[in-house]
Structure 1
Amino acid sequence: MKSLFGGLLYCFSLLVVQVHGTNFRFYGYEPQRISPAIRPVQAVQNAISATGIQCKIRPLDLVLIIDSSRSVRPGEFEKVKIFISDMIDTLDIGQYATRVAVINYASTVNVEFHLKTYFNKGDMKQAVSRIKPLSTGTMSGLAIRTAMNEAYTEKAGARPLSQNISKVAVIVTDGRPQDKVQEVSAQARASGIEIYAIGVDRADMQSLRLMASTPLDEHVFYVETYGLIEKFTSQFRETLCGLDICSLETHGCEHICVSTTDSYYCKCQDGYILNEDKKTCSSLDICSLETHGCEHICVSTTDSYYCKCQDGYILNEDKKTCSSLDICSLETHGCEHICVSTTDSYYCKCQDGYILNEDKKTCLSKTPHS
């Protein structure tokens, strides 16, 4: 995931600068300059606006790490909880969508709830409302280590690497860490966690830079008061929005369009193969391949194929293999007198005094009737 949260915060910075003057600073950017990182987000928003198509939210394993040290006043901590609740409202929360965990820290660290604890917004927001400040020191490094070693484990609800779910941590602090953050933050980033650092009021900017992922100008943010932090979520949904290209008529896939996290690909219906242009499909004679699986006979159709058996055999339930059939045990063999089974088929014969007609089924008496 490329700086999704960062795009949101910069978008909002432009708005806040107009309204509040110098109360908001997006670290590393001049307020009047639009970040190149946000332009793809704007393009997506424009496409959504033009087409009326709803955006598709990327699933995340999101861990919110909040500072509740003694420097954070009770009223300010309530604003942080509103910020978290508003952020939850912007997300597609669910077992197979975005999962959220919250870590509360000061000199000690509490995992308020894990990624696997809540899969609906109502319960999650209720849990956030019950969080109490710890009101001691500021052990930011310990909080990040707890996120890495406890919150981002499969036991706690993090999805395995094979599912390619982005792991994002957002740390909010107003002070200077009382422990070392550089090494543990580097370990967390190396493990695949993307870290955003939000500083408020007295926050130490150098520490924020040591914690955050690169590029720093997309991952480090600062606001002068907790009163502004709630505004960060105003465009969060649009920033996380990845346009579902398969919902547009311009994807170009002849048969089937399959959306992925960042893009899409084309595939073909059964009986067709994707051409070199990766868009169009050509009919495939599956029976010409050794992989069709038919034991006896493969019959190609327009879109697919089917298996059949040689005479004297019947197709099994797997629709692939064949079993020998005693046709003479069936009423449909057609022999007028005697049916004789063979290994692969059968033949008809007549009783004494009769000869087999040309149809090889019926019999004619040798003795003329008087």
Structure 2
Amino acid sequence: MRSLFGCLIYFLSLLVSGVNGTTRLNRLDSHQVAGQSYAQRRNIARPPQRTLDPSASENACRSRPLDLVFIIDSSRSVRPGEFEQVKTFLADMVDTLDVGAEATRVAVVNYASTVKVEFLLRAHLNKADMKRAIARIEPLAAGTMTGLAIKSAVTEAFTEESGARPKSRNIGKVAIIVTDGRPQDRVEEVSAAARASGIEMYAVGVGRADMTSLRLMASNPLEEHVFYVETYGVIEKLTSKFMETLCGLDPCSRGHGCEHICVNSAPSFYCKCRSGYTLNPDEKTCSPEEVTVLVVEDPCKCEARMAFQVQTQTALQDITARIADMTKRVEQLEDMMGRV
């Protein structure tokens, strides 16, 4: 009786609290309701903005280890103030990288009519020293010998003696060229040679940069390796773009087209098939493996015995299932009797 009375009291209290909650909801100020509705509509229409500050993002990515060489144009067309903006861009890029002996190493090649390797990959293995070295770079003033600068980067900056890791380490080699003009020498052949040696080439054009030359220098796909900004004043916008590009993301997470399994072999990937399937020539899809069935005659002519064994096994399985069903029913009856 006490238990029944307690249950009634409990349900009555729930009803009262529900009425009070409804009353409080109805008393909400109409401006508050309108404000909440506007905020919900705004959040649905506009997704949360991404943050570009690695320290402020819970999902900040880490750059994969690289041998990275910046090739920067300091010809007469680049004004002193604009060259300072290029240096700020380089410093910002360094801030987004994991710099270190076993992480990313950075070198800078400065060019105009002549080429100067400002510092090599082995020179600075921490961000502070690297940024101080960038701050000391001075423009070279005349000419735009971009082809010569690329060739110098390959023969002087990307060598093991200069700090590049050996090919056996599978460390990505990346060159980022920044220019605002038209090369005064040939860039097609030297760029092709650089790409053939395993260097991934990015071309950044500013202002009057020749787009045809940028495309001749860059790696494929061109839409991912050629960038353009109208002025040096907005070149810092490319920092976030390169941060995404150079992130150490699993290549399989970017979309792969593998029918079964994508295997990360950074910076690329390859497809595998599940057991029982083989990879097709397109290296994406899978087909069932061909199964060879061997027919062996029974020398003792035991077909009748095997048929009897199959029938016996089927009967035993049926009996086992019935016993399990009866056991379950008995347990249910015992449970009901226990409740009474």
TM-score normalised to structure 1 length: 0.52
Query: Could you tell which deviates more after superposition, 131-140 or 205-214?
Result: 205-214
Gap change, CA 1:221 and 1:244, over 3 Å in 2: closer
The question of 1:76 aligning with 2:75 is answered no
Question: 1:98: Cα distance to partner?
Answer: 0.2
Give the whole-Å Cα distance in 1 for the aligned partners of 2:171 and 2:160: 12
The question of 1:88 aligning with 2:94 is answered yes
1:147 alignment counterpart = 153
Gap change, CA 1:68 and 1:263, over 3 Å in 2: closer
1:20-48 Cα shifts (integer Å, max 9, x gaps): xxxxxxxxxxxxxxxxxxxxxxxxx9xx9
Give the whole-Å Cα distance in 2 for the aligned partners of 1:190 and 1:235: 25
2:124 alignment counterpart = 118
Gap change, CA 1:240 and 1:201, over 3 Å in 2: same
Gap change, CA 1:263 and 1:213, over 3 Å in 2: closer
> Could you tell me which of 64, 70, 74 is aligned with 2:70?
64
Give unpaired runs (5+ residues) of structure 2.
1-50, 252-263, 270-274, 277-340
Question: 1:92: Cα distance to partner?
Answer: 0.2
2:312 alignment counterpart = none
Gap change, CA 1:203 and 1:189, over 3 Å in 2: same
Give the whole-Å Cα distance in 2 for the aligned partners of 1:241 and 1:116: 22
Q: Which amino acid aligns with 2:137?
A: I
Name the structure where strand makes up a greater proportion of residues. 1
Please state whether the residue corresponding to 2:69 is helix, strand or coil: strand
2:301 alignment counterpart = none
Q: Which amino acid aligns with 2:200?
A: E
Gap change, CA 1:162 and 1:107, over 3 Å in 2: same
Give the whole-Å Cα distance in 2 for the aligned partners of 1:64 and 1:55: 21
1:156-211 Cα shifts (integer Å, max 9, x gaps): 00000000000000000000001111110111011011110001011111111111
1:271-291 Cα shifts (integer Å, max 9, x gaps): xxxxx79xxxxxxxxxxxxxx
> Could you tell me which of 218, 223, 236 is aligned with 1:217?
223
Question: 1:233: Cα distance to partner?
Answer: 1.1
Question: 1:218: Cα distance to partner?
Answer: 1.1
Give the whole-Å Cα distance in 1 for the aligned partners of 2:245 and 2:186: 32
The answer to whether the 8 Å contact 2:250/2:266 transfers is: no
Question: 1:235: Cα distance to partner?
Answer: 5.1
Q: Which amino acid aligns with 1:64?
A: F
Give unpaired runs (5+ residues) of structure 1.
1-44, 246-258, 265-275, 278-370
> Could you tell me which of 228, 235, 238 is aligned with 1:229?
235
2:14 alignment counterpart = none
Gap change, CA 1:183 and 1:236, over 3 Å in 2: closer
Please give the residue correspondences for 1:159-308 in structure 2 after superposition, counting only pairs within 5 Å.
Answer: 159-234=165-240, 236-243=242-249, 261=266
The answer to whether the 8 Å contact 2:89/2:236 transfers is: yes
Q: Which amino acid aligns with 2:167?
A: L
Please state whether the residue corresponding to 2:138 is helix, strand or coil: coil
Give the whole-Å Cα distance in 1 for the aligned partners of 2:204 and 2:244: 20
Question: 1:73: Cα distance to partner?
Answer: 0.2
Question: 1:52: Cα distance to partner?
Answer: 4.9
Gap change, CA 1:262 and 1:177, over 3 Å in 2: closer
Provide the aligned length of Structure 1 versus Structure 2. Answer: 208
Give the whole-Å Cα distance in 2 for the aligned partners of 1:113 and 1:165: 20
The answer to whether the 8 Å contact 2:62/2:97 transfers is: no
Please state whether the residue corresponding to 1:155 is helix, strand or coil: helix
Please state whether the residue corresponding to 1:242 is helix, strand or coil: coil
Paired-residue identity, %:
69
The answer to whether the 8 Å contact 2:62/2:98 transfers is: no
The answer to whether the 8 Å contact 1:70/1:135 transfers is: yes
TM-score normalised to structure 2 length: 0.57
Give the whole-Å Cα distance in 2 for the aligned partners of 1:244 and 1:217: 20
Question: 1:217: Cα distance to partner?
Answer: 1.2
The answer to whether the 8 Å contact 1:56/1:244 transfers is: no
The question of 1:55 aligning with 2:61 is answered yes
Q: Which amino acid aligns with 2:240?
A: S
Q: Which runs of 4+ in 1 moved over 6 A?
A: none
Q: Which amino acid aligns with 1:84?
A: L
Question: 1:56: Cα distance to partner?
Answer: 3.8
Gap change, CA 1:183 and 1:92, over 3 Å in 2: same
Gap change, CA 1:263 and 1:170, over 3 Å in 2: closer
Please state whether the residue corresponding to 2:87 is helix, strand or coil: helix
Name the structure where helix makes up a greater proportion of residues. 2
Give the whole-Å Cα distance in 2 for the aligned partners of 1:224 and 1:139: 22
Give the whole-Å Cα distance in 2 for the aligned partners of 1:127 and 1:220: 27
Give the whole-Å Cα distance in 2 for the aligned partners of 1:149 and 1:57: 25
The answer to whether the 8 Å contact 1:56/1:241 transfers is: yes
The answer to whether the 8 Å contact 1:140/1:177 transfers is: yes
Question: 1:231: Cα distance to partner?
Answer: 1.8
1:302-356 Cα shifts (integer Å, max 9, x gaps): xxxxxxxxxxxxxxxxxxxxxxxxxxxxxxxxxxxxxxxxxxxxxxxxxxxxxxx
